[in-house]
Amino acid sequence: MSRFDLYAPGLEQIGLSPDKILYAQGRKDSDVLALAEDGLRDGSLACVVVDAKAADQTATRRLQLAASDGKTPMLLFRRHRSRERCPLSGLSSAMTRWRIGAAPSSPLPHTGLGRPRWSVELVRQRNGNPFSIELEACDDTGRLALPAAAPDRAIAEGRAARQAA
């Protein structure tokens, strides 16, 4: 594991209390993945989070089946790059594959730092299309914000209006 950086108060705020989440870390990926599989099959957890350097297609298939059996979502972080090889380039049985990174904050009218932003890209989704979006840190309502209107929003609204007529 590279670093323990889940923010426990934030997780609890969205309903993931410490007794309902398993965050697996260890010296060997095989041990961590086995622990995650056991937690997924148990079915009593709200979420399983794993940070692993490597997880081949067999390991991800076992995790996907365990998550399905236990009806428990799982997040597998693979943020380690070796020699500029993207972790998303390997084979995986994951239902979705995401790429999340920092994005520049918007300029403020005064000196200071703007709200943090992230570039979020759905790289692969079974039976669905990939997409990308930019998110901004929580606004005054406590929700992630879209820093700009979605480019296809006007098209979708026009289509919905035509279908309703």
Angle value at C-alpha 113, between 77 and 5, nearest 5 degrees? 25
- 57 vs 89: CA distance, rounded Å: 12
Task: Determine the pLDDT at residue 66.
Answer: 92
Domains of the chain: 1-93 (3.40.50.300), 95-165 (no CATH)
Cα dihedral across residues 6, 12, 13, 14: positive or negative: positive
Which pLDDT tens digit goes with each residue over 129-150? 888 888 888 766 777 777 666 5
What is the number of H-type helices and E-type strands within the chain?
4, 6
* Contact predicate 51/79, CB 8 Å: yes
User: Could you tell me the pTM of the whole model?
Assistant: 0.65
**Range list of H helices, 50-110:** 57-70
In 11-162, at which residue ranges do the beta strands (DSSP E only) sit?
Answer: 21-24, 47-51, 74-77, 96-103, 117-125, 131-136
From 91, 88, 134, 97, select the one nearest 115 (Cα to Cα): 134
Which pLDDT tens digit goes with each residue over 13-38? 777 787 888 877 778 889 989 999 99
Mean pLDDT of 149-161: 50
